[in-house]
């Protein structure tokens, strides 16, 4: 069984049209995912339209050093996108994307930027230069940080998240009561203890700087409301888009690396589509005499069959789910996805825009 969010014919796959065309757009849930440089894509977004931005920019810490991961010594390098270009160029980059974010924020909108000491001071300074209103700096405390292998520093156990409003005149959203409730009836402090992403959050792939869902949940609940537009210019594994979807915010997220766009699409697909398959067999000679035995819970039954079994029937079916009409608009039995797509294209439903294709496979084995 597999699920694809894909439209092989989509213009979004044309590199020349990538800036204006998202690689994924779900109009029902208002999610847009873009692949490309965030500076170019932000420039194409209208001014004053975003309620909340979460940005987790490159930390510029990939300097060939070492760190500890899962008890092993590993390189700190995250990827070319994280390599330092020198303090001046790094600061210029921070200023440029912060200015682009400031332009698209609504007058009362806010931005949250996470980072380590490598960049967070440059981010804070750039915000002051650009006239943002600094609201808080959150210390995100990681309960189980990796040990410091050199034993010449304290273990790095925190990241800073700066929260700022678009301008000094902004009257920002803060869901004070909800935060107080979440803090057990006391005012919530600016020190947040939140564990690293859970195993399940990494089941479709690992991003080296993936943020926990719980962190983004806290941020979106604190400073946005249902229906608000949330933007992430450095989405990585798509954590912000996933949380926005769950909390019924609209989301727009950008990354320039296809590897991370793919990971985000896989995570988003699993939020949007759930396939459950049940096989039930009623055996006339046994079940019909007594009462029907529903064997739908026996998914692993074939593996347990002690007698040798013969495959007597195999069928692959493809279900095409519409983008606008959120229904199965077409279904067909076919030996491959390509074949199913060809049949779809020659069907009366070929004009429908497709958000996903679900494949189901049925195999019936009979004991010999």
Q: Which residues bind ligand SAM (CB under 6 A)?
A: 37-38, 56, 58, 81, 207, 209-211, 234, 236-237, 239, 254-257, 260
**Identity of the residue, 207 or 218, whose beta carbon is nearer to ligand SAM in the bound complex:** 207
- The residue (of 228 and 255) whose beta carbon lies closer to ligand SAM is 255
Q: Which is nearer to ligand SAM, 170 or 210 (CB)?
A: 210
Q: C-beta of 35: minimal distance to ligand SAM in Å?
A: 9
HEC string of 32-93 equals: EEEECCHHHHHHCCCCCCEEEEEECCCCCCCCCCEEEECCEEEECCCCHHHCCCCHHHHHHH
Cβ(235)–Cβ(264) below 8 Å: yes
Burial bucket for residue 228 (CB in 10 Å: 0-12, 13-18, 19+): buried
Which two three-digit tokens encode residue 96? 């440029």
Give the C-alpha distances (Å, rounded to integers) separating 11 from 8, 248, 265, 324, 337: 9, 28, 17, 17, 20
Comparing CB distances to ligand SAM, the nearer of 205 and 322 is 205
Q: Measured from the CB atom, is 81 or 204 closer to ligand SAM?
A: 81
Q: Which is nearer to ligand SAM, 234 or 330 (CB)?
A: 234
Q: Which residue's C-beta sits nearest to ligand SAM? A: 236
Least separation, in Å, of the C-beta of 234 and ligand SAM? 3
Q: How far is the CB of 119 from ligand SAM (least distance, A)?
A: 10
**C-beta of 139: minimal distance to ligand SAM in Å?**
18
Q: 22 pairs with which residues across the strands?
A: none
Provide the minimum distance between the beta carbon of 307 and ligand SAM in the complex, in angstroms, as a whole number: 48
Nearer to ligand SAM by Cβ, of 220 and 358: the residue is 220
Cβ at position 27, least distance to ligand SAM in Å:
23
Give the side-chain half-sphere CA count within 13 A for 152: 2
Closest to ligand SAM by CB, 38 vs 358, is: 38
Q: Which 3 state secondary structure label does DSSP give 310?
A: strand
Shortest Cβ 363–ligand SAM spacing (Å): 37
Cβ–Cβ under 8 Å, residues 163 and 114: no
What separation in angstroms does the CA of 164 have from each of 41, 59, 113, 218? 22, 19, 9, 16
Output the smallest distance, CB 237 to ligand SAM, in A: 4
Q: How deeply is 185 buried, as exposed, middle or buried, from its count of CB atoms within 10 A (0-12, 13-18, 19+)?
A: exposed
Closer CB to ligand SAM, residue 25 or residue 211?
211
Cβ of 152: how many Cβ atoms within 10 Å? 6
In whole angstroms, how close is the CB of 235 to ligand SAM at the nearest point? 6
Own/partner contacts of 28-31, CB < 8 Å, gap of 24 or more, are 28/323, 28/324, 28/326, 29/245, 29/250, 29/272, 30/229, 30/250, 30/251, 31/241, 31/244, 31/245, 31/250, 31/251, 31/252, 31/253, 31/268
- For 11, 97, 105, 358, the CA distances from 42, given in Å and listed in that order, are 20, 8, 11, 33
């Amino acid at each position: 069984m597999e699920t694809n969010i894909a439209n092989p014919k989509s213009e979004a796959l044309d590199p020349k049209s990538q800036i204006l065309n998202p690689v994924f757009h779900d109009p029902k849930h208002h999610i847009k995912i873009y692949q490309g440089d965030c500076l170019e894509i932000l420039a194409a977004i209208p001014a004053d339209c975003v309620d909340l931005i979460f940005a987790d920019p490159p930390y510029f810490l990939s300097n060939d050093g070492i760190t500890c991961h899962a008890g092993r010594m590993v390189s700190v390098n995250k990827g070319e996108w994280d390599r330092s270009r020198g303090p001046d160029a790094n600061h210029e980059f921070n200023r440029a994307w912060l200015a682009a974010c400031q332009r698209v924020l609504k007058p009362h909108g806010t931005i949250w930027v996470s980072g380590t000491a490598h960049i967070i001071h440059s981010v804070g300074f750039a915000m002051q230069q650009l006239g943002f209103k600094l609201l808080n700096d959150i210390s995100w405390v990681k309960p189980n940080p990796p040990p410091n292998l050199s034993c010449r520093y304290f273990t790095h156990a925190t990241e800073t998240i700066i929260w700022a409003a678009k301008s000094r005149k902004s009257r920002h959203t803060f869901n004070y009561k909800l935060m107080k409730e979440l803090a057990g009836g006391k005012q919530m402090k600016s020190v947040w203890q939140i564990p690293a992403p859970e195993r399940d959050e990494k089941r479709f792939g690992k991003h080296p700087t993936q943020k926990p869902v719980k962190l983004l949940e806290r941020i979106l609940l604190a400073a946005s409301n249902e229906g608000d537009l949330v933007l992430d210019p450095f989405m990585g594994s798509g954590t912000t888009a996933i949380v926005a979807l769950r909390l019924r915010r609209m989301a727009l997220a950008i990354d320039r690396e296809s590897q991370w766009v793919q990971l985000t699409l896989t995570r988003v697909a699993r939020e949007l589509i759930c396939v459950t398959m049940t096989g039930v067999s009623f055996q006339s000679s046994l079940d019909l005499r007594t009462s029907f035995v529903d064997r739908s819970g026996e998914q692993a039954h074939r593996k347990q069959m002690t007698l040798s079994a013969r495959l007597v029937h195999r069928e692959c079916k493809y279900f095409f789910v519409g983008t606008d009409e959120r229904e199965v608009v077409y279904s067909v039995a076919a030996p491959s996805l390509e074949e199913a797509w060809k049949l779809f294209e020659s069907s009366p439903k070929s004009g429908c825009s497709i958000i996903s294709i679900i494949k189901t496979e049925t195999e019936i084995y009979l004991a010999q």
